[in-house]
Amino acid sequence: MSTAPDVIRCAYAEFVVSDLRASRAFYVDVLGLVVTHEDADTIHLRAFEEYLHHSLVLRRGPVPALAVLGYRVRTPADLDLAEAYYRELGVRVRRREPGATLGIGEAVRVEDPLGFPIEFFHEAVHVERFTQRYDTHGAGAISRLDHFNLNTPDVPAARKYYEGLGFRVSEDIQDSDGTVYAAWMFRKPTVHDVALTGGDGPRLHHIAFATHERHQILHICDHLGALRQSDMIERGPGRHGVSNAFYLYLRDPDGHRIEIYTHDYYTGDPDNPVITWDVHDNQRRDWWGNAVVPSWYTEASPVLDLDGAPRPLVARTDAREMDVTIGADGFSYTRSTEFKLGEQV
């Protein structure tokens, strides 16, 4: 294989949304993201610690879907490496002129081997960093984009592909037969830039933004309650087993899943130990043993190809986590010698 591009981190996502006004009310008025640019068809948003043009683009369109996930690479020369690397993989590759993505320089956009639309870029417009603009932060201040979570049918194959890009595993979920249900992989020194969640794919399971404090997550819950929009809360708040982050999952007006996630832990040393969880450990997904709602396992956003058409799904053939345990409750244990029957839907 030719040399892979040097990926620094996950950097942005572009969602197609059906009602830009309703999406703006959620992402700006509730989540408090900063508007870098908006027009009749798009809103470009960033979180408070971000100084690149955007980390989320909302684009008005008929079919809510993921349009692209952006990874930042270390140098402009990495774009040539990306182009050669993906052409060698035999997938569709497009070079994009500076500004083809507003605020972003020259880029290479591909349909990766897992079926996801991925954009590699280096140059981007710098905008005001609101890190200490406490005059603008709400009580639910969001600091930055943290990770992507992807539904893909074959987690070991997806792990191998991402290892080829220099990503390392921090944690995973397996069973005693060696079936892998999920894996968390990183380039920046945190638990993940990308998580691979076993399921029919390619689908986007969620993107996550990080806050510094748990109370900021709790405020978002209270804010949604005050708006009588608590139905946007899908799962949590709670404490993850994997990653140890305090978490909340929201569904935006089109159903795109957004996680709000307190900072996890440092993974930057070369000997960072991998944590493997038993799929029957009911503290793996929620440290307090709370069940994972079924929709969290079954629902996700479709993804578009480079022509803007929704990608057909490939069904997972390995065992499904929801079949072997409902979230953190069904047929699982708190202490490995004491199985308990949880509720099964």
The residues binding Fe ion (CB under 5 A) are: 149, 208, 259
Instruction: Give the nearer residue to ligand 4SX in terms of CB position, either 24 or 192.
Output: 192
Among 55, 151, 211, 243, binds ligand 4SX (CB under 6 A): 243
Among 149, 152, 190, 267, binds ligand 4SX (CB under 6 A): 149
Instruction: Give the nearer residue to Fe ion in terms of CB position, either 36 or 283.
Output: 283
Q: How far apart, in whole angstroms, are the C-alpha atoms of residue 79 and residue 96?
A: 10
The closest of 147, 143, 174, 177 to 162, measured between CA atoms, is 147
| Strand boundaries in the chain, DSSP class E | 7-17, 34-38, 42-46, 56-60, 65-73, 93-96, 107-111, 117-121, 144-152, 168-174, 180-186, 194-198, 203-211, 233-239, 246-251, 257-262, 275-278, 301-302, 332-335, 338-340
Measured in degrees and rounded to the nearest 5, phi and psi for residue 81 equal -65, -40
Closest CB 249 distance from ligand 4SX, rounded Å = 8
Stretch that binds ligand 4SX, among 15-23, 235-243, 302-310, 311-319 (CB under 6 A): 235-243
Binding mask 192-231 for ligand 4SX (x = CB under 6 A): ---x------------x-----------------------
Instruction: Give the nearer residue to ligand 4SX in terms of CB position, either 123 or 278.
Output: 278
* 285 counts as binding ligand 4SX under rule CB under 6 A: yes
Closest CB 123 distance from Fe ion, rounded Å = 28
Burial class (CB in 10 A: 0-12, 13-18, 19+), 96: middle
Closest CB 94 distance from ligand 4SX, rounded Å = 30
Closest CB 252 distance from Fe ion, rounded Å = 15
* 282 counts as binding ligand 4SX under rule CB under 6 A: no
Stretch that binds ligand 4SX, among 26-34, 50-58, 220-228, 236-244 (CB under 6 A): 236-244
Strand order in the sheet with 107-111: 34-38, 42-46, 56-60, 7-17, 65-73, 117-121, 107-111, 93-96
Instruction: Give the nearer residue to ligand 4SX in terms of CB position, either 154 or 259.
Output: 259
- Quick one: what does residue 34 bind among Fe ion, ligand 4SX, none, with the CB cut-off 5 to 8 Å set by partner type? none
- For residue 340 the two structure tokens come to 């308990």
Q: Is 40 helix (H, G, I), strand (E, B) or coil?
A: coil
- Quick one: what does residue 83 bind among Fe ion, ligand 4SX, none, with the CB cut-off 5 to 8 Å set by partner type? none
Q: Is 174 helix (H, G, I), strand (E, B) or coil?
A: strand
Instruction: Give the nearer residue to Fe ion in terms of CB position, either 34 or 208.
Output: 208
C-alpha to C-alpha distances, 82 to 77, 99, 114, 326, nearest whole angstrom: 9, 19, 16, 40
* 251 counts as binding ligand 4SX under rule CB under 6 A: no
Sites of contact with ligand 4SX (CB under 6 A): 147, 149, 195, 208, 240-243, 245, 259, 261, 284-285
